[in-house]
Structure 1
Amino acid sequence: MVKFENDWDDLLKDEFTKEYYLKLRKFLVSEYKTQRIFPGMYDIFNALKMTSYNDVKCVIIGQDPYHGEGQAHGLSFSVRKGIAPPPSLVNIFKEIREDVGVDNTGKHGELTKWAQNGVLLLNSVLTVRANQPRSHRGMGWEQFTTDVIELLNLREKPMVFMLWGSDAKAKQQFITNPNHLILRAAHPSPLSAYNGFFGCRHFSQANAFLRSKGMEEIDWSID
């Protein structure tokens, strides 16, 4: 049984006995034994471990983990310190600098501070084969992360959902609670960032929304 050591434990306790998850787990056991899989098995659920249900202020939904050596560690768009920030994250930092004046460039790419500050960095698919993007699509992770989104949607306390790109936007149908704010934009990858990610101003909009609800803003610096 997966342990999150926070309120997700009770909320997701039945998830791991569902038929789809048992099939997914069987698949993952085989994959980790026979393939190079990212992130490491103890990092798969880091997003939920680092950001409890009640503490979520903002949800940033990614696609699947980075597939390069040493990059993925269980938080969407994040890489561990010492690993060069990938192009999508570089573009995120550019938009943050233009939007709220916080300059994270030239530091590192680890977003743990965001996670600890209430930003749930959740990929749609939580594992991937090395150098094979989207290789674990359709194996069951989409159901798991949709169930997480549906639980978040039920919460009365407001939060912001940032949906970047088609995979993230596909989750919008599960966000129906008018208490929450949905922000949509193109994906921050170099292929699409100029088609609507740059200039989206999601970071200032998120903080304005949280302020309007009497909640603490998000510090978008990484230090």
Structure 2
Amino acid sequence: MKNVALNIDESWDIDISLISQSYLEFLEKNTNYIPKKENIFNAFKTLKKNDVKYVLFGQDPYPRELSATGYAFIDGNVKDIFSSTGTLNREVNRATSLRNFIKMALVARGDLNKDDLSPQAISSLDKSNFINDIWQLKYNFEKNGVLLLNTALVFTDKKSCVFHAKEWEAFILGTIDKLDSQKVKLILFGSFAQNLYEKNKSLQKFDAFACEHPYNISFITNEDVIEFFRPMDLLLA
């Protein structure tokens, strides 16, 4: 794992020793997890430590090889966000959390009325100033200083999610702790991230924004969520 860990931006001081030796051996010897070994630490590859203003906690990588990218909420199976007819692309609709996040971002911009989230309403929008590439969305997150970090960096199967989260917990906590001097804000999506925050005093020294997970449809019209993300204008090209 040493060589993999070094494949990140040099500004990060990643401490692999916070991961148990048995789990490191699992990561070295197995290939039946996603994302691939070389992509596990991608969140630390493209955003410099000193540029981090927020840490957005996802839960697990997407449970599909093409989708898991090493970034929370960035689905590698999505090429274009919008289809040729102007609606959300099929791959976006398949990724429920991403779909709801895009709809929320459209509401936050004032382009979409929260009382009409239909495909027809989305299709009718003028998208000339919108991004349409999933990696542009990742770039816009990072431009706003958002570290897209899952609380478990690999996925094998649903029954093992708690196991992986526990194995990554010390590493995640230790890495976030090193951001203390920057006064970053934590974005806690759903009960998993919120429970992690509530049970760890080392996280509670950070300000936090908590809400339901984007998997829930109520996320789209949550006024607190809309107000929080509106200044980021994440869909602006």
The normalised TM-score by structure 2 is 0.72
Is 1:158 matched up with 2:179?
no
Q: What amino acid sits opposite 1:96 in the alignment?
A: A
Q: 1:186 is matched with which residue? A: 212
Q: Contact conserved, 1:64 with 1:134, CA < 8 A, in 2? A: no
TM-fit CA distance, 1:16: 1.6
Q: 1:212 is matched with which residue? A: none
Q: 2:103 is matched with which residue? A: 94
Aligned CA distance change for structure 1 residues 90 and 124 (closer, same or farther; 3 Å)? same
Is 1:144 matched up with 2:171?
yes
Report the aligned-residue RMSD. Answer: 2.7
Aligned CA distance change for structure 1 residues 7 and 128 (closer, same or farther; 3 Å)? same
The normalised TM-score by structure 1 is 0.76
Match among 78, 94, 102 for residue 74 of structure 2:
78
TM-fit CA distance, 1:199: 1.2
Identity level (%): 25
Higher helix share: 2
Q: Which has the higher contact order (CA 8 A, sep 6+)?
A: 2
TM-fit CA distance, 1:123: 0.2
Residues 142-172 of structure 1 show CA distances to partners (whole Å, capped at 9, x for unaligned) of 22112222222x22x3333211111111232
1-structure distance, mates of 2:208, 2:34:
29
Q: Contact conserved, 1:76 with 1:121, CA < 8 A, in 2? A: yes
Aligned CA distance change for structure 1 residues 16 and 158 (closer, same or farther; 3 Å)? closer
Q: What amino acid sits opposite 1:82 in the alignment?
A: K
Q: Contact conserved, 1:62 with 1:164, CA < 8 A, in 2? A: yes
Give 3-state SS (helix, strand or coil) of 1:184's partner.
strand
Aligned CA distance change for structure 1 residues 133 and 160 (closer, same or farther; 3 Å)? same
Q: Contact conserved, 1:128 with 1:134, CA < 8 A, in 2? A: no
Give 3-state SS (helix, strand or coil) of 1:38's partner.
coil
2-structure distance, mates of 1:28, 1:136:
15
TM-fit CA distance, 1:38: 1.1
Q: What amino acid sits opposite 1:76 in the alignment?
A: A
TM-fit CA distance, 1:203: 5.4
Residues 113-148 of structure 1 show CA distances to partners (whole Å, capped at 9, x for unaligned) of 13531210000000012xx23625324112211222
Q: 2:36 is matched with which residue? A: 40
Alignment of 1:57-136 (within 5 A): 57-80=53-76, 81-82=78-79, 84-85=91-92, 86-101=95-110, 107-110=132-135, 111-117=137-143, 118-129=145-156, 132-133=157-158, 135-136=160-161
Q: Contact conserved, 1:59 with 1:121, CA < 8 A, in 2? A: yes
Give 3-state SS (helix, strand or coil) of 1:50's partner.
coil
Larger radius of gyration: 2
Match among 222, 228, 234 for residue 205 of structure 1:
228
